[in-house]
Structure 1
Amino acid sequence: MAAAGARMAEEVAEQPAVFDSLVARRSDVAAVARLIAGRRPRFALLAARGSSDHAALYAKYLIEVLLQLPAGLVSPSTTTLYGARPDFTDVLYLSVSQSGGSPDLVAATEAARAQGALTVAVTNTPSSPLSDAAELSVDIKAGEELAVAATKTYTATLLSLYLLVDAVRGGSGEAVAGIGELSATALAAPIEDAVARFRDIDRVVTTGRGYSSATAAEAALKLAETSYLGARSYSGADLLHGPVAAIDDRTGVVAVTSTGHGGAAMRDVVSTVHGRGASVLAVGSAAADVSADLRIQVPETAEEVAPILEILPLQRLALALALARGGDPDNPRGLNKVTRTL
């Protein structure tokens, strides 16, 4: 019988090789991007659940900043529960799902396609119902993932979305040319001090700005589902608009602070929560630039690809905390690998 956390640990370690393989085969993604660019969508909508929802949030920033197109996150429930059928003419509708098996995403994608959208499935299962429902599909090629907590499928989705959006604007993927080597460095970052500080904390807030908002959201999910922590995620701006009142010396704060506009905007946020007595862990390429008790430094990249690296030591932190708290992150209580919602 495998040791607790063995599957998750193995899949976390596979990520540099997955990234190298994806970048080497970016022509597959570029072919889909050319078809999207040829259709000239007027705006984009993204549908997803769970970890994929955080990847969709990342894609929203990519689309709005790099393509200068308005983008939004949709609720599949408007279709599946309320029967809404908006006019999706000239809309790019991206459905993101690692399994491609969630019935609500499949139904929402089918409805969007029937209403005129250009539908694209981004999934790790190219033979899935979601891929069949969409007009186009992108295979993230992460390989089979057995641990319940998504690790390599999450980051492979991020990288695939970056390659797709970058190719739509005519890019060559230059910003991720060395992402495999950089990810290996990020995975090697020491986390032991953070594990010791956070193992007895039950309330954690994760926060980031811009692209890193997706990292903060995914980190909260990983800590909640593997270590059973009461973890909440807020953008740095939203945190200061009220929730900061709940932060005190019994709160752990994970602040994602990478180089760029988002990281610069986090300095005042981190200073505020640190001043309220919280145990602050700063993670990112700009971790040294903020007031924090602990820091996990990751390699610097273009800001738009930083989330691919930022989450890596946080995956290891979630794994190590789960084990330190007596859990098995491969088999979180009450969870299955595929969650089917309607």
Structure 2
Amino acid sequence: MQPGQHMSADIAAQPKIYADLVARQSELAGVAAKIAERRPRFALLAARGSSDHAALYAKYLIEVLLQLPAGLVSPSTTTLYGARPDLTDVLLVSVSQSGGSPDLLEVTESARRQGALTVAVTNTPDSPLNLAAELSVDVGAGPEVAVAATKTYSATLLALYLLIDAVRGGKGEQAAKLGELAQRTLDESQSAVDEAVQRFRFVNRVLTTGRGYSSATAAEAALKLAETSYLSARSYSGADLLHGPVAAVDAETGVLAVTSSGQGGAAMREVLDVVHSRGADVFAVGSAAAKVSAALRIPVAESAEEVAPMLEVLPVQRLALGLSLARGGDPDSPRGLNKVTKTR
């Protein structure tokens, strides 16, 4: 078996997964209707690892599309410190690919006892987390053999979008063509990804950055590069980058900037002007990549800003795959990692 074979297959499967998930919009709308009926006063999101980045994306969706305050849960406040806040009229969304992490299970069970409406979003419909939550959503990505999450991550993003959009009464219109846009993105970005692999293969320090919805992609990019290529990768919001971290940027730093069309991408232009002027090798990914200062640009199909993370993450995954192989690794079996990580 060739190194990276599983990860490559999982990446290639995403366009069909998107199309299949969009076709299930009415199923997710049924869950959304129950959420809307309860009229939560704010939302909390519980997750770990890649799912935590999906939760960050959902936080933006909830605050922007639903106009509800939202926050990310620190599971240890429940599991280690025994906090039991009153969660009456609160929506708790627990996001987990496996649905088997003990800390997320304990947080969900506790939140339900404390009055929250609990929703599990997983790729394992019969998981303990699904059984613990009042409502559940199956992201439908199918089995993922590679350790590094790719299709389960992107499918989780789309499931969260369809769910949250349906809560506000939408029918997933902005996501309707994501399947074909994803295939186009994979096809049209490959040569630029190959070039980026050659430019980044000897870099040991990478900084990833984005704004708004794309903050989640930047965070996921740092994790993928760290776990598959063993790079020292750190993610910063473009809003924070100039407040101090830019001091560490120099000609030896690789910068991956996520810049899709919309307000978040527009806000990155000035930031990248500064970063580029410091001599960093800036690699811009997204539908607005052509509009920012960068040494290399990877095109992504145009979409509404709120669904762009499902497209911009695709070449990022391909970059992580390519870099791992170019550096002599096997992204299907990163050292020291397991498919399911259990924490408390």
TM-score by length of 1: 0.99
1:121 aligns with 2:120: yes
Q: Which amino acid aligns with 1:11?
A: D
The residue aligned with 1:34 is 33
1:161 aligns with 2:160: yes
Which residues in structure 2 correspond to 1:66-85 (within 5 Å)? 66-85=65-84
**Does the CA-based 8 Å contact 2:57-2:157 persist in structure 1?**
yes
Mapped partners of 1:98, 1:311: distance in 2: 17
| SS of residue matched to 2:149 | coil
Per-residue deviation at 1:185?
Answer: 1.1
The residue aligned with 2:172 is 173
Once the two structures are superposed, what CA deviation does each residue of 1:320-341 show, in whole Å capped at 9, x if it has no partner? 0000000000000000000000
Which residues in structure 2 correspond to 1:138-287 (within 5 Å)? 138-188=137-187, 189=189, 190=191, 191-287=193-289
Which residues in structure 2 correspond to 1:15-34 (within 5 Å)? 15-34=14-33
Per-residue deviation at 1:21?
Answer: 0.5
Per-residue deviation at 1:30?
Answer: 0.6
| SS of residue matched to 1:45 | strand
Mapped partners of 1:61, 1:240: distance in 2: 22
Per-residue deviation at 1:192?
Answer: 1.2
**Does the CA-based 8 Å contact 2:25-2:171 persist in structure 1?**
no
| SS of residue matched to 1:291 | coil
Q: Which amino acid aligns with 1:78?
A: T
| SS of residue matched to 1:231 | strand
Mapped partners of 1:34, 1:285: distance in 2: 33
| SS of residue matched to 2:115 | coil
The residue aligned with 1:111 is 110
| SS of residue matched to 1:211 | helix
The residue aligned with 1:324 is 326
Q: Which amino acid aligns with 2:159?
A: S
Name segments (4+ residues, structure 1) moved above 3 Å: none
Per-residue deviation at 1:27?
Answer: 1.2
The residue aligned with 1:304 is 306
Per-residue deviation at 1:25?
Answer: 1.1
The residue aligned with 2:297 is 295
Per-residue deviation at 1:259?
Answer: 0.4
Mapped partners of 2:163, 2:273: distance in 1: 36
Mapped partners of 1:323, 1:164: distance in 2: 36
Once the two structures are superposed, what CA deviation does each residue of 1:35-90 show, in whole Å capped at 9, x if it has no partner? 00000000000000000000000000000000000000011100000000000000
Mapped partners of 1:185, 1:151: distance in 2: 17
21-30 or 314-323: which moved more?
Answer: 21-30
